[in-house]
């Protein structure tokens, strides 16, 4: 399986456990969501993804 696909799956799982990040992502426009998802390819491990999700509500899109 492609690493980006793994990152996307993990991103979805992490969002389920972070209500603030999930609410932020739900309020994003399709273009903003695409920009967020494109950044997942830069993540190389779970701790980076966790930090990304934890900081998502304070992101400036």
Q: Where are the domains of the chain?
A: 1-40
**pLDDT tens-digit series, residues 31-54:** 999 999 999 989 888 899 999 999
- CA 44 distance to own-chain centroid: 13
Angle, CA of 58, 28 and 61, to the nearest 5°: 50
User: Can you give the length of the chain in residues?
Assistant: 61
CA distance 52 to 35: 13
- CA 46 distance to own-chain centroid: 11
State what percent of residues in the chain have pLDDT above 70. 90
- Confidence band for 3, pLDDT divided at 50, 70 and 90: low
Lookup result for tokens 């994003």: 28
- Confidence band for 1, pLDDT divided at 50, 70 and 90: very low
């Amino acid at each position: 399986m492609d690493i980006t696909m793994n990152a996307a799956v993990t991103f979805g799982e992490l969002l389920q456990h972070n209500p603030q990040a999930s609410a932020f992502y739900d309020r994003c426009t399709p273009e903003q969501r695409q920009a967020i998802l494109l950044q997942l390819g830069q993540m190389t491990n779970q701790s980076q993804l966790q930090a990304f999700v934890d900081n998502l509500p304070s992101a400036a899109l």
